[in-house]
Structure 1
Amino acid sequence: MRIALFGATGRVGQAFLKEAGANKRYDIYALAREQKNVPHLPPERISTGNARNRDDVQHVITGSDMVISCLGTDGDDTLSVSMKHVIDIMEEENMKRLITVGTAGILKSRQHPQKFRFETNESKRKLTRAAEEHAKVFTMLEASGLDWTAICPTYLPDGEATGVYRFEKDFLPEGGSKITVGDTAHFLYQQLEARDFIRVRVGLAY
């Protein structure tokens, strides 16, 4: 299986590469601004470019079976700009499977299920700009015809995978306050061939 990976230089992206890279069943190709920033892939599988550029995005996606996005908000609208490219290209090439890593802020609020968590007092973050960007991407996913899964971890400290954590469709597991980068990558890896969470958000926490 060939996988196109965006966000390979971020914490979850790098942890995912460590988790999946040893499995010979997966041929992972990534887009990065500099090859040296992706230590877990051979240079010939790294395309140098920018996710804001449609041609760069298409170069990585073409020929792939699946797309994974671990892109962050980057302080601007790079996430939504790049995701529009990804969705458009996948639909043009009749690809279906897309897995993204978002934020628990875009899960449903338990007290107000019609709202995102970041729109209520369930979210402890005072600044909502990043969550708003992730919500914009979620709206784009819902409007697409793709088989997407949006993985939504809560607070993400560094840490290795334990394989022991909770997950829930559309909501953050009750009382959940954190999950490590390693376990987020572990859950992402489990979704490569699973079909349990198609076209839904998944909240992750301990």
Structure 2
Amino acid sequence: MNLLILGATGRTGRRLTELALEGGHHVTAFVRDQGKLNIQHEHLSVIQGNATDRDDVLQAFAVSKPDAVLSALSTDKGTVLTDSMPHIIEAMQSHGVRRILTIGTAGILNSRTEPGKYRYESNESQRALTRASDEHRRAFEMLAASDLDWTVVCPTHLTDDPEEGTYRVERDYLPEDAKKVSVGDTARFTYSQLNSDEYLRARVGIAT
């Protein structure tokens, strides 16, 4: 399978790239800084560009010809997600690509305590700043409004702890008593959904 990975230089994106290569896929990493991706593999191609630039995104799709997309783009303390998502959706629709897996945040899952609200809007959230969650929410809502086959994996506090394989997942909600989850477990679960329709067009909360 040809995979296009966005955000491959981040913690989760890097592990997703490694898993995809280990799985025998042909991977194209679309990155802003080619020098930050210190992975070399015969099945890895790297395209340097900006995900917020429409022409760069369309070119990445034209060159990579992906069967599926994995995005670990972060907010980058700005509007990267909301600026890039329209271009990603357009490129996928133009090239007939349907499957996309993205990394979100637990804040955009449903609130258990205040039905009808996102977690970050409810009393479940202890964060004073909501800018990043707002970005993730808008990007999620763009995907939800599209006709694509999307899954948004929403980890709670991400750590660099070793991959355990004992994580818990739940559709549209964060598993109860969630405290943290490792980057490795988050990437492993995300990768496992590549050929699964179990959580098609759904958010998935993940925690250990």
With structure 2 as the length reference, what TM-score do the two structures score? Answer: 0.94
Tell me how far apart the structure 1 counterparts of residues 79 and 172 of structure 2 sit (CA, whole Å). 24
* Residue aligning to 1:9: 9
- Distance apart, 1:163 and its partner CA: 1.2
The counterpart of 1:118, out of the listed 120, 132, 137, is 120
Q: What is the TM-score of this pair, normalised by structure 1?
A: 0.95
Gaps of 5+ in 1: none
Sort the Cα spacing of 1:172 and 1:129 in 2 relative to 1 into closer, same or farther, 3 A. Answer: same
Contact 1:21 1:40 in 2 (8 A): no
Determine whether 1:157 maps to 2:159. Answer: yes
- Provide the rounded CA distance (Å) in 2 between the counterparts of 1:31 and 1:53: 12
- 1:204 corresponds in structure 2 to 206
Whether the 8 Å contact between 2:32 and 2:50 is mirrored in structure 1 is: yes
Q: Deviations over 1:54-91 (max 9, x none)?
A: 12112222311001110000111111111110011111
What secondary structure is seen at the aligned counterpart in 1 of 2:181? coil
- What is the RMSD of the two structures over their aligned residues, measured on CA atoms? 1.3
The 1:188–1:41 alpha-carbon spacing in structure 2 relative to 1, beyond 3 Å, is: farther
Residue 5 of structure 2 contacts residue 28 of structure 2 at CA under 8 Å; is this kept in 1? yes
Q: What count of residue pairs does the alignment treat as equivalent?
A: 205
Shift in CA distance, 114/128, structure 1 to aligned 2, threshold 3 Å: same
2:187 matched residue in structure 1:
185
Match in the other structure for 1:30: 29
Amino acid at match of 1:5: I
Amino acid at match of 2:143: L
Deviations 1:10-37 (A, max 9, x none): 110012122222222x111011122221
Spell out the pairing of 1:130-141 with structure 2 (5 A cutoff). Answer: 130-141=132-143
Opposite residue 140 of structure 2, the aligned amino acid is F
Structure 2 gaps of 5+ residues are none
Which residue type is aligned with residue 190 of structure 2? L
Residues 156, 179 of structure 1: 8 Å contact kept: yes
Separation in 2, partners of 1:85, 1:127 = 27
Aligned sequence identity (%): 44
